[in-house]
Amino acid sequence: MAQDPARIDDLAEPFVALYQRAEMYLIEVIRRALIKTGESPTWAEAQLLAIRQERGNIEGMASVLHKRLPTMWRDAVEIAWTRGQLDAEKEVISIPQNMVPNPQAITTLNTQTVFALTAEAMDIMTPVHQNILRATDDVWRKIAAEAAGYTVTGVMTPQQAAQRAFTRICREGIPFFTDKAGRKWGLDTYAEMAVRTVTNNALIAGHTQTLQEHGIDLVVVSSHKNPAPQCAPYERKILSLGRYPAGTRAIGDNIVNIAATLSEAKANGFRHPNCRHQYSAYVPGFTKIDTVKYTGDDSGYKATQKQRYLERQIRASKRMEAAAIDERDVRAARQRKNAYQAKLRSHVAEHDLPRRRHREQVRKPASGVVGLSFDD
């Protein structure tokens, strides 16, 4: 069995669900504050006070997230590492024993790697947890500032203006975290990116160590429909796990063209968080490679990116519905959701893409903070 990134898809689900519930809870906190202040004559002050009265709940939620994560991350990393190991063992079994340099190798779980990857994950997510309260305050200030602009003309009440601002922010995605590149992330999207990155690295580590202990250094990359541009150049190419540099090499009685080391390919974007490429053991003189070349056509990849855009808009519509105060806004959000679902159905049919309904979902908000479980 090739080393398959789809094998870790299920590991992201608990994290995404957890952070989606957290994000929806924060939307509910802001919505409650909007309802509470109503049409107060000093609405801006009343709104800020209302959100600050929720401070304990927000801090409690962030604390629960931070306490739950180490165990979740360690378990996910161990599972991903072990799956990579088992994938490699299955590949080795399929190779004639006389062609495996060290057929009797026994690989054990690398606890140092697991610890390092778990620590890396916590380093990624800790700033997010620490920023939740500040980000919520920032969202509230943006609502107040935008609403003040709407009410200058007198065509909207303060609450109507605040609702309109809140709806827009929910549509665009509440920016709970901004990374070093200036990209703004929601809680769930950042968590999904983080868990895919870390478990992907664990899967690779388990697979790589196992092959190396069997004396195998070369791997061949798979190909699939709609590759990302940064991955396409490596399709059907041979990579070294570290022993050989790129170039044409004489290995035994065979001439092998090595495109890059695995580390170099990853540095160029290969095996990004949503990558679907596999790679498996390559044994010179035994492994056969399909020689079809990359054409440079990225239209299929662009179609998958548009699919993700439509999925994000469906999720945005559901956030807008959760943020709505009156029935008119609820209806508007549902109409928007239905329109984007229709566009998505048409798009996946036109481009023969699989419908991934889990990417259109948002979870219900967590209920309560004391003893917060985020369970279904």
- Give the lowest-confidence range in 43-47, 111-115, 154-158, 306-310: 43-47
pLDDT band at 260 (very low <50, low <70, confident <90, very high): very high
- What is residue 331's predicted lDDT score, i.e. its pLDDT? 94
Statement to judge: residues 271 and 138 lie in one domain: no
> Of 268, 297, 326, which marks where a domain is finished?
297
Mean pLDDT value across residues 127-154: 80
Confidence of residue 43 (pLDDT cuts 50, 70, 90): low
Question: What's the average model confidence in pLDDT over 19-47?
Answer: 78
Q: Are 32 and 69 contained in the same domain?
A: yes
Q: What is the pLDDT of residue 292?
A: 60
Q: Is residue 269 part of a domain?
A: yes
The residue with greater pLDDT, 48 or 70, is: 70
Are residues 120 and 88 both part of a single domain?
yes
Q: Does the pLDDT value for residue 295 go beyond 50?
A: yes
Query: pLDDT tens-digit profile of 303-335?
Result: 988 999 999 999 999 999 999 988 989 999 999
Flag whether pLDDT at 1 surpasses 80: no
Strands of 254-261's sheet, edge to edge? 247-251, 254-261, 238-240, 218-221, 279-281
Lowest-pLDDT choice from 84-93, 145-154, 203-212: 145-154
Residues 241 and 289 placed together within one structural domain of the fold: yes
- Reported pTM: 0.80
Alpha carbons 207 and 211: distance in angstroms, whole number: 6
Question: Residue 353 phi/psi, 5° resolution?
Answer: -105, 150
Please name the residues in contact with 340: beta carbons below 8 A apart, sequence gap of 6 or more.
310, 313, 314, 317
Domain that residue 245 falls in: 217-297
Model pLDDT, residue 369: 45
139 shares its domain with 21: yes
Most confident of 49-58, 173-182, 185-194, 230-239: 230-239
The pLDDT of residue 288: 86
Quick one: how far is CA 371 from the chain centroid?
A: 27
Asked if 167 and 224 sit in the same domain, the reply is no
* Total of domains in the chain: 3
The chain-wide mean pLDDT, for the chain, equals 85
